[in-house]
């Protein structure tokens, strides 16, 4: 059974609205919280027409609940519907290669079988929070504000990412093992010099000097495109418009125009917004060349979309129109995509990189400084090599939150 957090105001519960994306289950006889959560996830995926492989791991309990969803190991943690804190059991986190990859927070009203999924934290995000607080207990209490994206973020992760992209190393500290080894050979962390790093490369092998994505992808600010409304009654008062957040094509949010402009230097850019999308249209000279709509009100367009029409040629202009969730038909965020006199053939570039991980990393690092559209297209490419550094970078891109919850 769930104990409401002390910070929760139980007396005001009845006045609190049920969250819009909460799931209400009809079976009143369910008492197992893990079963309630499993049924809620299955109900959501069925309503949205999403086909996921969902397994409830053996020996699950309310204190140790693990689901395997599309090969991702997801720890589900529970709290009351009116709580603002949640407790994370840590037993599994101390087992190497057995710890969860994602934590899903579920706020549950047991009496009425109402489940609201607040969002998720990846293993890396959780470990960073845990280490910052220097926690040492068998469980760890955390604010629900740390969980981002609701159930949509979880569904995006398990459908788009490779399960190998998220670590299962848990709280078994690699830093401690490195410290102990350096101590054994007579070095302290404060006195490590270039010579020690060279010596380390001899002791540990060349893996210590492996190239990595050097750009801080988590710091990338999404482009924001205002969406003019046909019904101004609400928005015109404060001159505030709905907006779309978009990663690719990359746009400069400082452009003080409603129709953003982006330069495209290669022929097959990626289209990707972390916001749930209802409709996308690509047009040229007023003619619609391609369009796509979500298959239903509950099934949005999501994930990276490879350029769906003929490759872009030099000196061309395309209009990309995107209608996110919640906006009526005919209201779009609009982005003008202009190509220059020289256009790189993306497929040729990918073929030249082959399966050489170092070449991919070097090219992406260079592009992140000068050509973000190209860097994002490479990181989100289906031909991205199987490499931990590249997978981690792709995961960070996919993890960036949009404007629309």
**What is the C-alpha separation between 297 and 279, in angstroms, rounded?**
11
Task: Tell me the pLDDT of the chain averaged across its residues.
Answer: 81
Would residue 95 count as lying in a domain?
Answer: yes
Q: Is 120 helix (H, G, I), strand (E, B) or coil?
A: strand
Q: Which of 404, 395, 401 is nearest to 123 (CA)?
A: 395
Distances in whole angstroms, Cα of residue 92 to Cα of each of 70, 98, 145: 20, 7, 23
Would the pLDDT of 278 be above 80?
yes
CA angle 30, 34, 35 (to 5 degrees): 40
Q: Is 118 helix (H, G, I), strand (E, B) or coil?
A: strand
Q: Residue 174: which residues within 8 A CB-CB, separation 6 or more?
A: none
- Could you give the percent of the chain with pLDDT greater than 70? 79
Would residue 1 count as lying in a domain?
Answer: no
Q: Could you report how far apart the first and last alpha carbons of the chain are, in Å?
A: 29
DSSP 222-248: PEEEE---S--TTGGGTT---EEEESB
pLDDT single digits (tens) 69-108: 999 999 999 998 888 899 998 888 888 788 999 999 999 9
- In DSSP terms, 72 is beta-bridged to 69
Q: Name the residue with higher pLDDT: 387 or 17.
A: 387
Q: Let me know: does 269 contact 311? Beta carbons within 8 Å.
A: no
Q: What is the rounded average pLDDT of the residues 384-389?
A: 89
Distances in whole angstroms, Cα of residue 86 to Cα of each of 4, 161, 172, 401: 9, 26, 23, 22
Which two three-digit tokens encode residue 16? 């609190």
Q: What is the rounded average pLDDT of the residues 142-171?
A: 86
Q: Tell me the CB-side half-sphere exposure of residue 121, using CA atoms within 13 A.
A: 22
Q: Which of 30, 223, 173 is nearest to 109 (CA)?
A: 30
**From the centroid of its chain, how far is CA 239?**
31
Would the pLDDT of 302 be above 80?
yes
Would residue 57 count as lying in a domain?
Answer: yes
Q: What is the rounded average pLDDT of the residues 53-63?
A: 77
How high is the pLDDT of residue 257?
65
Q: Which residue has the tokens 């070097």?
A: 362
CA angle 32, 33, 39 (to 5 degrees): 90
Q: pLDDT band for position 327 (50/70/90)?
A: confident
Q: Do residue 31 and residue 127 come from a single domain?
A: yes
Q: What is the rounded average pLDDT of the residues 169-192?
A: 53
Q: Do residue 104 and residue 122 come from a single domain?
A: yes
pLDDT single digits (tens) 38-50: 999 999 988 888 8
Q: Do residue 240 and residue 382 come from a single domain?
A: yes
Would the pLDDT of 265 be above 50?
yes
- In DSSP terms, 313 is beta-bridged to none
Q: Do residue 184 and residue 254 come from a single domain?
A: no
Q: Let me know: does 301 contact 325? Beta carbons within 8 Å.
A: no
Which two three-digit tokens encode residue 188? 């302290």
pLDDT single digits (tens) 328-359: 888 999 999 999 889 999 999 999 999 999 99
Going by the DSSP 8-state scheme, the letter that residue 150 receives in this structure is: H
Q: Do residue 231 and residue 201 come from a single domain?
A: no
**What is the C-alpha separation between 394 and 380, in angstroms, rounded?**
7
DSSP 287-300: EEEEEEE-SBTTB-
Would residue 142 count as lying in a domain?
Answer: yes
How high is the pLDDT of residue 12?
42
How high is the pLDDT of residue 21?
82
- Read off the CATH number of the domain in which 144 is found: 3.40.1350
Q: Do residue 143 and residue 254 come from a single domain?
A: no
Would the pLDDT of 182 be above 90?
no
**What is the C-alpha separation between 46 and 154, in angstroms, rounded?**
15
Would residue 311 count as lying in a domain?
Answer: yes
Q: pLDDT band for position 205 (50/70/90)?
A: very low
Would the pLDDT of 382 be above 80?
yes
Would the pLDDT of 27 be above 60?
yes
Which two three-digit tokens encode residue 404? 């629309």
**What is the C-alpha separation between 248 and 306, in angstroms, rounded?**
11
* Enclosing domain of residue 193: 174-209
Q: Do residue 93 and residue 193 come from a single domain?
A: no
How high is the pLDDT of residue 209?
47
Q: What is the rounded average pLDDT of the residues 266-272?
A: 96
Element spanning 375, H or E: helix 372-379
Q: Is 126 helix (H, G, I), strand (E, B) or coil?
A: helix
pLDDT single digits (tens) 224-261: 888 877 654 444 444 456 889 999 999 887 766 667 88
Q: What is the pTM of this model?
A: 0.59
Q: Do residue 19 and residue 150 come from a single domain?
A: yes
Q: Do residue 372 and residue 231 come from a single domain?
A: yes
Element spanning 72, H or E: strand 72-80
Report how many domains make up the chain.
Answer: 3
Would residue 293 count as lying in a domain?
Answer: yes
How high is the pLDDT of residue 2?
56
How high is the pLDDT of residue 16?
56
Q: Do residue 352 and residue 323 come from a single domain?
A: yes
Q: Let me know: does 343 contact 307? Beta carbons within 8 Å.
A: no
Q: What is the rounded average pLDDT of the residues 120-142?
A: 83
Buried b (16+ CB within 10 A) or exposed e, 277-315: bbbbbbeeeeeeeeeeebeeeeebbbebbebeeeebeee
Q: Do residue 14 and residue 136 come from a single domain?
A: yes
Which two three-digit tokens encode residue 218? 């988590």
Would the pLDDT of 174 be above 50?
no
Would residue 204 count as lying in a domain?
Answer: yes
How high is the pLDDT of residue 320?
96
Q: What is the rounded average pLDDT of the residues 133-143?
A: 78
Element spanning 139, H or E: strand 139-143
Q: Do residue 89 and residue 155 come from a single domain?
A: yes
Would residue 239 count as lying in a domain?
Answer: yes
Going by the DSSP 8-state scheme, the letter that residue 386 receives in this structure is: S
Q: Residue 392: which residues within 8 A CB-CB, separation 6 or more?
A: 165, 213
């Amino acid at each position: 059974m769930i104990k409401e957090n002390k910070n929760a105001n139980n007396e005001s519960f009845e006045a609190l609205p049920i969250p819009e994306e909460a799931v209400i289950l009809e079976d009143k006889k369910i008492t197992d919280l893990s079963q309630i959560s499993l049924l809620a996830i299955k109900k959501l995926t069925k309503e949205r027409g999403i086909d996921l492989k969902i397994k409830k791991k053996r020996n699950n309990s309310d204190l140790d609940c693990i689901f395997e969803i599309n090969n991702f190991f997801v720890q589900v943690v529970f709290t009351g519907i009116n709580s603002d804190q949640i407790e994370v059991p840590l037993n599994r986190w101390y087992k190497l290669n057995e710890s969860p990859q994602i934590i899903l927070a579920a706020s549950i009203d047991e009496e009425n079988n109402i489940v609201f999924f607040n969002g998720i934290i990846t293993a890396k995000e959780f470990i960073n929070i845990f280490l910052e607080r220097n926690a040492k207990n068998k469980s760890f209490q955390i604010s629900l504000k740390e969980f981002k994206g609701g159930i949509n973020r979880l569904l995006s992760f398990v459908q788009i990412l490779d399960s190998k992209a998220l670590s299962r190393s848990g709280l078994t500290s690699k830093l401690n093992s490195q410290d102990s080894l350096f101590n054994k050979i007579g070095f302290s962390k404060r006195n490590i010099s270039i010579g020690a790093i060279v010596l380390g490369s001899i002791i540990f092998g060349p893996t210590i000097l492996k190239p990595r994505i050097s750009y801080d992808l988590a710091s990338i600010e999404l482009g924001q495109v205002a969406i003019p409304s046909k019904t101004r009654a609400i928005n015109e008062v404060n001159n505030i418009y709905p907006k779309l957040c978009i990663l690719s094509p990359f746009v400069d949010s400082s452009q003080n125009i409603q129709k953003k402009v982006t330069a495209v230097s290669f022929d097959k850019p990626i289209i990707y917004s972390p916001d749930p999308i209802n409709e996308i249209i690509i047009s040229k000279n007023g003619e619609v060349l391609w369009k796509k709509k979500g298959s239903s009100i509950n099934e949005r367009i999501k994930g990276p979309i490879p350029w769906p029409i003929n490759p872009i040629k030099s000196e061309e202009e395309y209009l990309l129109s995107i209608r996110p969730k919640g906006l009526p038909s005919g209201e779009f965020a609009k982005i003008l995509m202009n190509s220059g006199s020289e256009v790189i053939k993306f497929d040729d570039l990918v073929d030249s990189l082959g399966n050489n991980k170092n070449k991919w990393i070097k090219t992406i690092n260079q592009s992140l400084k000068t050509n973000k559209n190209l860097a994002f297209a490479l990181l989100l490419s289906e031909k991205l090599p199987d490499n931990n550094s590249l997978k981690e970078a792709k995961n960070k891109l996919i993890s960036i939150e949009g404007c629309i919850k």
